[in-house]
Amino acid sequence: MSAWQLLRRLAPHSVLALALLTVWASLYCDPRKYKISLGNEFHISLLYGHVVFFNDPKYGPYHGSIVGFAGNEYPKATGYGYAWGIYYRHFVWPEYKLWTLAVTLLYFVGLGICISVTALVRSRFRRKSKILTQAPDDADSVVNGPNSHR
């Protein structure tokens, strides 16, 4: 088997392997230390099985804490609670804002599983179709005569 054939065979499964490795890394990653920053107010990191997008690298992604007290005018809080693997919170003070968007990595794992299963099924059908379309071998011709296959 050539290197190219091996790569073609393993590539679909690498998505699943990368997804599982990312989930494992998210359990130990500190988003304040390990993040990708795209500008001053947009950062990407991993946190407890989620990929998180957030604006404040010092505070890190918001994942539940006290940000104000009842009766206070600020912060103004908006957001979307945790549903379908998506969580969003946005807090606004007069001079500051804090937002976080978290998306579960299970979507990434599910995509990896779908790609791997599809590749396995396609390879299985490809093998079966090769077997069905192969010409009969010499032993079959000897036993049944040279014109025995149709």
43 in Cβ contact with 53 (< 8 Å): yes
Predicted local confidence at residue 2, as pLDDT: 82
Predicted local confidence at residue 129, as pLDDT: 64
Angle (CA) 43 44 48, round 5°: 130
Predicted local confidence at residue 148, as pLDDT: 54
For residues 2 and 96, what is the distance between their CA atoms, to the nearest angstrom?
58
**Percent of the chain that is helix, strand, coil (3-state, to 5):** 40, 25, 35
3-state SS class at 77:
strand
* Length of the chain counted residue by residue: 150
Predicted local confidence at residue 101, as pLDDT: 94
pLDDT in tens, the chain (150 residues): 788 777 777 888 888 999 999 999 999 988 888 898 998 889 999 999 999 999 988 888 887 766 666 667 777 878 777 789 999 998 888 888 989 999 999 999 999 999 999 988 888 777 666 665 665 555 555 555 555 555
